């Protein structure tokens, strides 16, 4: 194993964050680290043949890898307030018989275009209020950053951001077509970044939160084209932060963490959205179970307080219990940590562990909570064909064992085997940072699959695509591909098979 130097790794990671300025706080960087940190916002590139650095592209790996994440965190000398605020950019890597091509483009939202024309920030967002006089807070709505995830449909790609409507893009060129209402998103309805697609039926489930004195949870069911065919609305307790949910057999399950928005400070412009979120553990974690066919409430329950951004998966076991795997935090410190990531200097401890919850769906009662792994776990997922069903494997981003997780960012990926209760990790070496692992099924061999990740190499200030054999994550990648420019660390992606 390599020995990690906290200074060298933070310096290297900072180079992958777009335009890290000291505009919002004073950070004591060594000169060389500061020079590396103050890079320009991400550079787009057109469709480009990607060079093979090592190995060979598998013959059965055919399709497109898409990734979405914040690629610009500064404009006109002003730095955005939170990692979540950055303008979204999409990377598409197309694997075909001729090799692999890549294209990288910003999502051309109306807010992005306005700010590009003005040469300065105009809008507030998750972690910042609108620049300028306080009345700007009331005159300018939040900018749709389109920076969180992607949904590949038969005729378009959706760039997702939970505070607004999705943006439709061309599947090949990534040209932005504009906001898409999916045939059912009327004014005031938002569409989350974390949909769930049933591989067997083709149905797509998603939700959105509409704020108000009390928030409304809107649930959507779409056909395989993305068109909304059914929706329902339910009132929530206060205005909670709900980022994800889980499909488990015939159920849709929401765990509502005890985070509530203090609306007054937000409305009068004193605080931004992020700083107005309050951790209230006395509320506990509320549970809502819905029937996937009717979208009606099956049960409501409550359990101990925790926070989660992401679910790994859910399913119904032989006894009829719902099993839900989550990346569980003990509190809401993760929000502060993610704010610090955008500065290139982290110091807040926020550990999440892979945790299994057993739930009785008809009563909403939690019967057991089990920590599966005492290692940091984020961006957990299962192979697409296993969503909503039992899956032997869970893939995740994590930290290497010797890492100080309060002063670092995710620097490893791993696969947890639920059958053997073992963790297999990929070692990227010092100063290399992989994105969320994406599972891809081989098109020729049903017994074979691959894991793809986009890696920022802080040693060479470059980005690459690494391909692993899913059963040999701890071995050398079967292929490494070079990318024309640095890809800032992204949030979520998907694999669209050919």
pLDDT 10s digits, 206-245: 999 998 878 999 999 999 999 999 999 999 999 999 999 9
| β-bridge mates for residue 482, sequence order | 464
Q: What is the pLDDT of residue 27?
A: 33
Q: Please say if the pLDDT value at position 30 is more than 50.
A: no
Locate tokens 């500064």: which residue? 74
Locate tokens 């919850």: which residue? 357
Please, which pLDDT band fits residue 6 given cuts at 50, 70 and 90? very low
Locate tokens 């489930």: which residue? 205
**pLDDT tens, residue by residue, 439-498:** 999 999 999 999 999 999 999 999 999 999 999 999 999 999 999 999 999 999 999 999
Q: How far apart are CA 232 and CA 218, in angstroms?
A: 6
Whether 442 contacts 448, CB under 8 Å: yes
For residue 494, give the nearest of 427, 414, 440 by alpha carbon.
440
Q: What is the pLDDT of residue 404?
A: 84
For residue 272, give the nearest of 193, 339, 348 by alpha carbon.
339
Q: How far apart are CA 309 and CA 350, in angstroms?
A: 12
Degrees to nearest 5, angle at CA 356 with 414 and 317: 110
Q: How far apart are CA 490 and CA 147, in angstroms?
A: 8
Q: Please say if the pLDDT value at position 36 is more than 80.
A: no
Locate tokens 């986009």: which residue? 454
Q: What is the pLDDT of residue 23?
A: 35
**pLDDT tens, residue by residue, 238-250:** 999 999 999 999 9
For residue 308, give the nearest of 351, 263, 264 by alpha carbon.
351
Q: How far apart are CA 147 and CA 41, in angstroms?
A: 14
Burial class (CB in 10 A: 0-12, 13-18, 19+), 482: middle
DSSP tag of 364: T
Q: Please say if the pLDDT value at position 12 is more than 70.
A: no
Q: What is the pLDDT of residue 139?
A: 66
Question: Which of 208-212, 386-390, 396-400, 403-407 has the highest mean predicted lDDT (pLDDT)?
Answer: 386-390
Comparing 157 with 134, the larger pLDDT belongs to: 157
Helix (H) or strand (E) holding 496: strand 492-497
Total number of residues shown for the chain: 498
**pLDDT tens, residue by residue, 337-383:** 999 888 878 899 999 999 999 999 999 999 999 999 999 999 999 99
For residue 457, give the nearest of 31, 68, 13 by alpha carbon.
13
Q: What is the pLDDT of residue 158?
A: 98
- Dihedral through CA 316, CA 322, CA 323, CA 327, nearest 10? 130
Q: By mean pLDDT, which of 9-13, 249-253, 298-302 is the weakest?
A: 9-13
Structure tokens at 210: 């509409």
Beta strands in 73-98 (DSSP E): 74-75, 78-79, 87-96
Q: Please say if the pLDDT value at position 205 is more than 90.
A: yes
Structure tokens at 243: 């980022």
Whether 91 contacts 66, CB under 8 Å: yes
Locate tokens 């990534």: which residue? 174
Degrees to nearest 5, angle at CA 297 with 313 and 361: 50
Q: With H, G, I as helix, E, B as strand and everything else as coil, classify residue 389.
A: coil
**pLDDT tens, residue by residue, 293-329:** 999 999 999 999 999 999 999 999 999 999 999 999 9
**Which residues in 428-453 are b (16+ Cβ under 10 Å) and which e?**
bebbbbbbbbbbbbbbeeeebbbbbb
For residue 235, give the nearest of 250, 219, 216 by alpha carbon.
216
Alpha helix stretches (DSSP H) within 5-164: 6-14, 31-37, 110-118, 136-139
Q: What is the pLDDT of residue 5?
A: 41
| β-bridge mates for residue 369, sequence order | 357
Beta carbons within 10 angstroms of residue 311's beta carbon: 24
Whether 112 contacts 106, CB under 8 Å: yes
Q: How far apart are CA 334 and CA 286, in angstroms?
A: 20
Helix (H) or strand (E) holding 263: helix 263-267
Q: What is the pLDDT of residue 78?
A: 87
Average pLDDT of the chain, as a whole number: 90
Distances (CA, A) of 236 to 220, 280, 293, 334: 16, 15, 21, 23
Q: How far apart are CA 313 and CA 245, in angstroms?
A: 9
For residue 76, give the nearest of 17, 23, 144 by alpha carbon.
23
Q: What is the pLDDT of residue 135?
A: 61
6-497 folds as Methylamine Dehydrogenase; Chain H (2.130.10)
For residue 465, give the nearest of 473, 474, 456 by alpha carbon.
456
Q: What is the pLDDT of residue 2?
A: 34
Comparing 202 with 34, the larger pLDDT belongs to: 202
Q: Please say if the pLDDT value at position 192 is more than 60.
A: yes
Please, which pLDDT band fits residue 137 given cuts at 50, 70 and 90? low
Q: What is the pLDDT of residue 14?
A: 59
């Amino acid at each position: 194993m390599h020995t990690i130097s906290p200074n060298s790794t933070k310096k290297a990671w900072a180079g992958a964050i777009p335009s890290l300025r000291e505009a919002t706080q004073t950070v004591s960087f060594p000169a060389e680290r500061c020079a590396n940190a103050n890079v320009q916002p991400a550079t787009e590139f057109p469709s480009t043949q990607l060079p093979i650095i090592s190995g060979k592209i598998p013959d059965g790996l055919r399709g497109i890898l898409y990734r979405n994440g914040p690629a610009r965190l500064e404009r006109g000398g002003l730095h955005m307030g939170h990692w979540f605020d950055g303008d979204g950019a999409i990377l598409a890597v197309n694997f075909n018989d001729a090799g692999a091509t890549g294209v990288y483009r910003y999502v051309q939202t109306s807010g992005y275009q306005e700010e590009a024309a003005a040469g300065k920030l105009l809008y507030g967002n998750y972690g910042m209020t609108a620049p300028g006089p306080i009345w700007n807070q009331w005159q300018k709505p939040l900018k749709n950053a389109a920076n969180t995830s992607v949904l590949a449909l038969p005729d378009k790609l959706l760039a997702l951001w939970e505070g607004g409507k999705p943006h439709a893009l061309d599947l090949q060129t990534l040209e932005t077509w504009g906001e898409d209402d999916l045939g059912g998103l009327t004014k005031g309805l938002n569409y989350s970044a974390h949909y769930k697609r049933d591989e067997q039926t083709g149905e797509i489930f998603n939700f959105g939160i509409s704020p108000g004195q009390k928030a409304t949870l809107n649930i959507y069911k779409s056909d395989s084209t993305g068109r909304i065919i059914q929706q329902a609305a339910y009132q929530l307790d206060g205005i909670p932060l709900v980022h994800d949910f889980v499909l488990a057999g015939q159920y849709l399950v929401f765990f509502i963490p005890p985070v509530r928005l203090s609306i007054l400070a937000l409305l009068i412009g004193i605080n931004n959205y992020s700083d107005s979120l309050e951790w209230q553990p006395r509320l506990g974690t509320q549970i809502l179970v819905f029937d996937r066919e009717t979208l009606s409430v099956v049960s409501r329950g409550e359990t101990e307080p925790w926070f989660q951004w992401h679910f790994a998966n859910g399913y119904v076991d032989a006894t009829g219990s719902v099993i839900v795997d989550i990346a569980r935090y003990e509190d809401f410190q993760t929000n502060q940590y993610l704010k610090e990531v955008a500065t290139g200097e982290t110091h807040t401890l926020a550990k999440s562990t892979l945790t299994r919850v057993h739930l009785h769906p008809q009563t909403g009662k939690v019967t057991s909570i089990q920590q599966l792994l005492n290692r940091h776990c984020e961006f957990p997922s299962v192979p697409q064909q296993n969503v909503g069903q039992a899956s032997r494997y869970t893939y995740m981003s994590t930290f290497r064992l010797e890492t100080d997780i309060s002063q670092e960012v995710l620097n490893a990926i791993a696969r947890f085997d639920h059958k053997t209760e073992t963790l297999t990790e990929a070692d990227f070496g010092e100063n290399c940072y992989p994105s969320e692992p994406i599972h891809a099924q081989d098109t020729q061999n049903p017994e074979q699959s691959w894991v793809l990740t986009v890696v920022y190499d802080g040693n060479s200030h470059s980005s690459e695509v690494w391909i692993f054999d899913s059963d040999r994550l701890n071995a050398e990648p079967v292929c490494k591909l070079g990318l024309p420019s640095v890809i800032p660390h992204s949030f979520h992606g998907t694999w669209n098979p050919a």
